[in-house]
Amino acid sequence: MNPDILYEDNHIIIVNKAPGDIVQGDKTGDATLGDAIKHYLKMRYDKLGNVFLGVTHRLDRPTSGVVVFAKTSKALIRMNDLFRRGEVQKVYHAIVAKTNLGLLEPMTLEHYLTRNERLNKSTAHQKEVRDSKKAVLDFENIASSDRYSLLKVHLHTGRHHQIRCQLAAIGLPIKGDLKYGAPRSNPDGSICLHAREISFVHPVSKQPIHVVAPYPQTSLWQFFDNGE
């Protein structure tokens, strides 16, 4: 696993996660993206002993796109504060089956999500229910093929499987996402959800950071990359 590095300085490193990579260790025991970055840092900077690397946020395993790691404890604390205060802007792109309506109008979705830990799945409710959390996102249709639409999604809240769950709740499951109602899986086990952009003020230098993650190298993503 060779990390695809999009940005790096003394305090943070931003990478483009491939679908199938896991950000942090889980019950599978599989090698993680974090481990790969630690190895890269150790080799590049000839570091002795352990390498510090802090996880500031996560992406689902079948999802691709931009992930920020902290190289120092100062950056980790401050990045966590930025995420907690909602000062990190993230844009996702998702591919869904094209509807009979053609290009979808821009839309705001508001649901209340409950999480089933055993199934690792969330359920969307129209009204607040016990143990639910409010979830809000905006999306717009930015491109279409004969069969699929490319959506640009902006999150207002950060809930478990939020985009996957909310889009499925209105009849737009993400391509390949069997867990949320897609009719078939993608050959590589991915889902067509990509963390496309991230923007924030650098936690140490205070300079604006804006990073765009290239799409995965599959024919459908590349069709939209060429046509966008």
Which residue in 9, 30, 46, 60 is the catalytic one? Answer: 60
Question: What pLDDT was estimated at residue 100?
Answer: 60
Q: Could you confirm whether 21 is annotated as catalytic?
A: no
Q: Which residues 6+ apart lie within 8 Å of 217 measured at CB?
A: none
pTM: 0.93
| Domains of the chain, each with CATH number or no CATH | 5-227 (3.30.2350.10)
- Length in residues, the chain: 228
| CA angle, 17 then 18 then 22, to 5° | 70
Asked if residue 59 lies in contact with residue 14, where contact means CB atoms within 8 angstroms, the answer is no
pLDDT digits 0-9 by tens, 162-177: 999 999 999 999 999 9
DSSP-derived pairing of the beta strands 193-201 and 148-155: unpaired
Q: Average pLDDT for consecutive 10-residue bins of the chain (228 residues)?
A: 93 97 82 94 89 94 97 97 95 89 81 96 97 96 91 94 97 96 94 98 97 95 81
